[in-house]
A and B are shown apart, each in its own frame.
Chain A
Amino acid sequence: MKPIPQPILDIRGLTKVYPGGLKALDSVDLEIRKGEIFALLGPNGAGKTTLIGAVCGMVRISSGTINAFGEDLARHWRSARQRIGLVPQELGFDMFDTVERQVGYSRGLFGRAPDASRVEEVLRSLSLWEKRGEEIRKLSGGMKRRVLIAKALAHDPELLFLDEPTAGVDVELRRDMWRQIGALREQGVTVILTTHYIEEAEEMADRVGVIDKGRLLLVDEKDEMMKRLGRTEAHFTLAAQLSELPPALRDYPVTLAEDGRTVCYRGGDGTGKGKAEVAAVATALVQSGIVFTALDQRESSLEDIFVGLVEQQGLAA
């Protein structure tokens, strides 16, 4: 049997109650394995940023313990923080400073000796080298976000937090960001990212945790999670009223609306099965001689899934 590696981050009973009484984190237990990419998935206000803040030092925790690299973070925060990097959600830096200087500053701030060649490496890997002498305020939004990442990587962290790395960025930059994160995994960096896009968790993560209203509802391997999360919904608007479903559709999870004018499909498991089945249902309708005038298909939203998860948990309890 392989020895179970010690988690790089071990959170136990983490609770944060803000002065106003808002419980942002409610007794969260979470273990992060070394070298994995972990996606924390949840809607806005779920407690994702608070969780990151609690580990990185922006948030004072109300109760619970955090162990990082096998040591109590509350006691060994200086040594632990040298090994942790953070890319925040909001752009925040000295806009009048140059790219290279800011990145060098971050390296020093985290206790690393100046190393121009390492800073160059980081800047090149993020396509920032050409812009090294520019004032940050003159860069485009996407470039500014890269500077944030460069700053977080400048001290070679072993554990990297990315808070909503692709919120508000264009498709191209999002793809680019995903490639970057993939490259970090290759280097052995453990990555924890928060997102409210299911696709992002699906694309990037090894494991996914679902958080809502401060409670960590579920943590599982990505594939398992996607099976649970994925749901495809399709509505076929029929040209003529139908009294009952044709036999060809019997094997699919479809229902006929009361007015007999809409066929509704609900199914799939996040692996693409849903989309394939919708196509099959469409073919079956055509083959049965049923004409439909519109097809409205969508993947269920995160909110739908959360409602489902909470209901499931409620039933299990």
Chain B
Amino acid sequence: MINWRSTFAIYRNELSRFRRTVFGSIVSPVLTTSLYFIVFGAAIGGRINEVGGVEYGAFIVPGLLMLTLLSESTSNASFGIYMPRFTGAIYELLSAPVGVAETLLGFVGAAATKSLILAAIILTTALIFVDYSIAHPLFALVYIMLVAASFSLLGFILGVWAEGFEKLQMVPLLILTPLTFLGGTFYSIDMLPSPWDKIALANPIVYLVNGLRWTFYGHSDVSIGVSLGLTLAFLAICVAVIAVIFRTGWRLRS
């Protein structure tokens, strides 16, 4: 039986932690996104007319949203579980009547919730700079939730694995951000010269960015089915890894 009260306590505690750092967690992504719109949308976008029938400024909206979603979900969830490990507060979580289900729903749910709030803020900010519409809004919402949950799970794994703040930052900074930049955030894959257009398909983020782009504009570089399938597979892998972490107590129980 899942302990719902415990789950809710973790969820609320995490959200209140976010509230304490509201400036950094909201203002900085909004500022970053605005900068991207100014630099890429206005300055460079003025020289590129359209990509696949979509105005360049609008074309980069899903990619920019994905950029924030991936880094914020990952780092929020990883901090959420790493901080108690770092401060020693983890003892309470380990001695509490909570298992993998409560912990995941609490930590990952809160990280994903924060990502969704951020997504809404970024989409609103984008409206200031460009005119865009979402072709499949419900699909977009589901897809955003799916990505937020998956990368919060990844963040949770990182937070359990990391043994220092440096390692904690490593994956978002050294892997996710570069892959997102190279993952078709600012361009369509078919704009790349051969063989880079083929190599780009090995980048998993390409499928995420394009999946989200499809929900916005109804077409993308890769098929939505493949994007969705890969996202779900990634989610399943993360859940499996976390289940193993809890069963073996790796890095949590001595």
Contacts of A90 in B (CB 8 A): 88
* CB proximity of A203 to chain B, nearest CB, Å: 26
Contacts of B12 in A (CB 8 A): 105, 108
Mark A residues whose CB is within 8 Å of B: 18, 53, 56-60, 77-82, 84, 86, 88, 90-97, 101, 105-113, 151
A305 vs B36: C-alpha distance when bound (angstroms): 71
* CB proximity of B123 to chain A, nearest CB, Å: 30
A106 vs B17: C-alpha distance when bound (angstroms): 15
Contacts of A88 in B (CB 8 A): 88, 91
Q: Is residue B16 contacting chain A, with contact meaning CB distance below 8 A? A: yes
Contacts of B92 in A (CB 8 A): 86, 92-93, 106, 109, 151
* CB proximity of B106 to chain A, nearest CB, Å: 9
* CB proximity of B49 to chain A, nearest CB, Å: 49
Judging by beta carbons under 8 Å apart, are A113 and B5 in contact? yes
A92 vs B88: C-alpha distance when bound (angstroms): 4
Judging by beta carbons under 8 Å apart, are B253 and A109 in contact? no
Q: Mark B110-151, 1 if CB is under 8 A from A, else 0.
A: 000000000000000000000000000000000000000000
Interface positions, chain B 1-35, Cβ under 8 Å from A, are 1, 3, 5-6, 8-10, 12-13, 16-17, 20
A1 vs B13: C-alpha distance when bound (angstroms): 51
Judging by beta carbons under 8 Å apart, are A110 and B6 in contact? yes
Judging by beta carbons under 8 Å apart, are A94 and B87 in contact? yes
| Most B C-beta atoms less than 10 A away, residue of A18, A82, A92, A107 | A92
Contacts of A77 in B (CB 8 A): 97
Judging by beta carbons under 8 Å apart, are B87 and A84 in contact? no
Judging by beta carbons under 8 Å apart, are B88 and A91 in contact? yes
Contacts of A86 in B (CB 8 A): 91-92, 95
Judging by beta carbons under 8 Å apart, are B9 and A81 in contact? no
Q: A56-B95, A151-B92 are in contact. Are A105 and B253 (CB under 8 A)?
A: no
Q: Is residue B204 contacting chain A, with contact meaning CB distance below 8 A? A: no
A50: nearest chain-B partner, CB-CB: B254
Q: Which of A60, A91, A97, A109 contacts B10 (CB 8 A)?
A: A109
A18 vs B92: C-alpha distance when bound (angstroms): 21
Q: Which of A82, A92, A101, A107 contacts B97 (CB 8 A)?
A: A82
